[in-house]
Copies of this chain bind each other. A is one copy, B any other.
Amino acid sequence: MPELRQNPATKEWVIIATERARRPEDFPQKPPEIQTPEEIEKCPFCEGHESETPPEIFAYREYGTAPNSPGWWIRVIPNKFAALIRDGLPKREKIDHFFRRMDGIGEHEVLIEHPKHDFTIATMEEKQVEEIFLAYRERYLDLCKNPKFELVMVFKNHGQAAGTSVRHPHSQIIASPVTPQHVRHRLEEAMRYFDDNGVCVYCAMIEEELKMKERLVLETDNFVAFEPFASRSPFETLILPKKHSSSFQFITSDETKEMAYVTKAILSKLYKSLKDPDYNYVIHSSPCHEKELEYYHWHMQILPRITALAGFELGSGIYINTVIPEKAADFLRNA
């Protein structure tokens, strides 16, 4: 059973994921960087290997094909090495009246983005990317209904520097029984701005970026993509809906398709101009059971992982970025 533990000094939660636990003595071996042809042959995410994964939760598949058989184009399964598991109640407990823990109750899903091994969003057909994003929405809405979960996070790790050794294109969705400090602080800062100014800080940011234009990368009817003024790392890109909304759960299916288009466009620019860099993306959204909040604005953050996080960043939270965001935007606009 995985476990959530809280740091008593910082109130930050960590997940001790015993399901995927390695013994300490197994650590000197680093994971291999590139999968061998034999490993690709055995990839459990490839079409035809459905029996090698846990049973599917959800799939887009051809009419008449049975679950856990070929015929799908998007497939969602429980993560075999889940950081959080479904069964049980997330009850906080105290150890020795000092430390706080709870069972690692939640959900950890893998969304297989394509039946074939050698694609990535940058190289997939438009239609397939739309379906990936529609599937994100389906799973997001479903998980948000569960009263046990406070935060649902859709994210993607692409490449080893971004934390994955699996090359088959996939995203992940984690439903957490706690709202972490990190998210609380973002909400509180946004609330403070709203209290001072009477407008959402992200709405104000969109207005600024559309006016100044120098950090803008892409604009569609309903979305805007730009390099943030205080980009944490080279080519960090934010995608925001222009219309104010605090949660990804309020997106329409048409908007979802438009968001898929914008995301694919940005990832294609990164793929071409930086030669398929490792990256993460994350959808930041308000906690599940909140209604529409006037002070927060959901958004997607794309973080290329081309520079390492070092001691100063980890200790101070101040990131050192070696590329001027306006230059990065200019570079991506022309890519």
List residues of chain A with CB under 8 Å of any chain B CB.
Answer: 5-18, 20-25, 27-28, 30, 83, 95-96, 98-99, 151, 153, 155-157, 160-164, 172, 174, 176, 178, 180-183, 185-186, 189-190, 193, 201-202, 204-205, 208, 211-212, 228-232, 234-235, 273-275, 277, 280-284, 301, 303, 306-325, 327-328, 331
Contacts and interface: CB of A to CB of B under 8 A. Distances in A.
13 contacts: A12-B318, A24-B328, A25-B273, A28-B275, A96-B211, A153-B312, A153-B316, A160-B308, A162-B310, A163-B307, A163-B308, A182-B316, A283-B315
A48 to B, nearest CB: 28
B155 A312 contact: yes
Nearest to A313: B163
Contacts of A156: 311
Contacts of A14: 230-232, 318-321
A210 to B, nearest CB: 12
Contacts of A275: 28
Contact of A15 (B160, B185, B282, B319): B319
Contact of A315 (B24, B181, B230, B301): B301
Please tell me how many copies of the chain the complex holds. Answer: 2
Given A9-B202, A229-B7, A274-B28, A324 B176 contact: no
A308 to B, nearest CB: 4
B230 A153 contact: no
A7 B228 contact: yes
Interface residues of A, dominant DSSP:
mixed
A102 to B, nearest CB: 12
Nearest to A186: B10
Contacts of A308: 160-163
Nearest to A97: B208
Chain B CB within 10 A, most for which of A28, A156, A182, A274: A182
Contacts of A318: 12-15, 176, 178, 180, 182
B201 A8 contact: yes
B315 A8 contact: no
Contacts of A274: 27-28
Contacts of A232: 12, 14
Contacts of A208: 96, 98-99
